[in-house]
């Protein structure tokens, strides 16, 4: 298999964690329902490829995301493997379902903008915190780890530019509720490297260390890897990615393609940064999943290495 020439950069982190979101974020807006057994096999293959964290599913109401209506069945199919896999929960009802399945890690999904909060959460920007607080408090009391996604950090399709200070304020409030990590989302892919650097500097100035921040990039405008590089240079060590570049956001039509895990791994390999993922196994998994979905993978690395 072709591999990049390794040219380490001593100013960058020596190791990063890849937070795989393909099974949840990647599949959530597929038009055809993916069978539960196929999802379970996808997750097992991702785990075998060395992905350390795999977000399995979401306990969202099936009316909103029909693709994830089988969340409980999927966790049952995965057995003990599922206990350490994060699941997204929208509210206390979702938390109840997660607790019933013995899940140890959950994520909540907030918005940095008023319009997206109204459209996605049916809450105002301020009201979302009141909705999340009891969920986070209960989860922490149960010994669960809580991650908080912040969407629309780099632009909103309805509101346009989003002030950096506004994003920081929202993220800080979610963190102060009890989240252990913030995932900052470039939901519509309009972010650029300088914007990434400025936003991370603002979060650091507000008292949030890089260890508490993850980046979630979309490649809508081809900027995901450039933005990931900027985040690396700022000291970020956790990156969300989706195997094969699957997914987007079902509530924002311009939010296409997550950063492909293979593309990120190729970048990290070339920089000599450790991550623990076997690229060949990962490419094979994405080729297999593309066959299940009936279309080629959008990942540039998958296409180059497997013609997939």
Cα–Cα distance measured from residue 13 to residue 189, given in angstroms and rounded to the nearest whole number: 24
End-to-end CA distance of the chain: 14
Q: Tell me what percent of the chain is helix, strand and coil, each rounded to the nearest 5.
A: 45, 15, 40
Looking at the annotation, which residues are catalytic?
Answer: 249
Question: Residue 116 to residues 90, 128, 150, 170, 294: CA-CA distances in angstroms?
Answer: 15, 11, 11, 13, 31
Question: Residue 205 to residues 13, 165, 198, 199, 294: CA-CA distances in angstroms?
Answer: 20, 11, 11, 10, 46
Q: Which own/partner contact pairs does 200-205 have at CB distance under 8 Å and 24+ positions apart?
A: 200/231, 200/234, 200/235, 200/236, 201/234, 202/164, 202/165, 202/167, 202/168, 203/168, 203/171, 203/172
């Amino acid at each position: 298999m072709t591999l990049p020439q390794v040219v380490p950069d001593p100013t960058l982190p020596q190791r990063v964690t890849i937070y795989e979101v393909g099974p949840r974020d990647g599949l959530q807006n597929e038009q055809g329902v993916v069978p539960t057994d196929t999802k379970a096999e996808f997750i097992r293959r991702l785990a075998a490829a060395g992905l350390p964290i795999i977000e399995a599913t979401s306990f969202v109401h099936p009316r909103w995301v029909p693709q994830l209506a089988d969340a409980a069945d999927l966790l049952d199919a995965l057995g003990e493997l599922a206990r350490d896999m994060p699941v997204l929960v929208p509210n206390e009802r979702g938390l109840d379902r997660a607790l019933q399945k013995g899940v140890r890690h959950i994520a909540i999904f907030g918005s940095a903008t008023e319009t997206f909060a109204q459209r996605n959460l049916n809450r105002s920007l301020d009201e979302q915190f009141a909705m999340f607080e009891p969920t986070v408090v209960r989860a922490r009391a149960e010994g669960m780890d809580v991650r908080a996604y912040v969407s629309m950090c780099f632009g909103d399709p309805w509101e346009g530019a989003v002030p950096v200070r506004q994003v920081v304020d929202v993220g800080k409030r979610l963190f102060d509720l009890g989240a252990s990590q913030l995932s900052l989302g470039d939901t519509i892919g309009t972010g650029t490297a300088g914007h990434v650097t400025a936003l991370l500097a603002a979060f650091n100035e507000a008292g949030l260390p890089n260890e508490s921040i993850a980046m979630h990039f979309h490649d809508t405008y081809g900027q995901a890897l450039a933005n990931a590089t900027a985040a690396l240079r700022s000291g970020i060590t956790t990156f969300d990615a989706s195997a094969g570049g699957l997914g987007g956001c079902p509530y924002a039509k311009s939010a296409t393609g997550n950063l492909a895990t293979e593309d990120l791994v190729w970048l990290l390999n070339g920089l000599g940064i450790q991550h623990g993922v076997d690229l060949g196994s990962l490419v094979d998994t994405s080729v297999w999943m593309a066959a299940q979905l009936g279309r080629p993978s959008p990942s540039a690395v998958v296409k180059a290495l497997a013609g997939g």
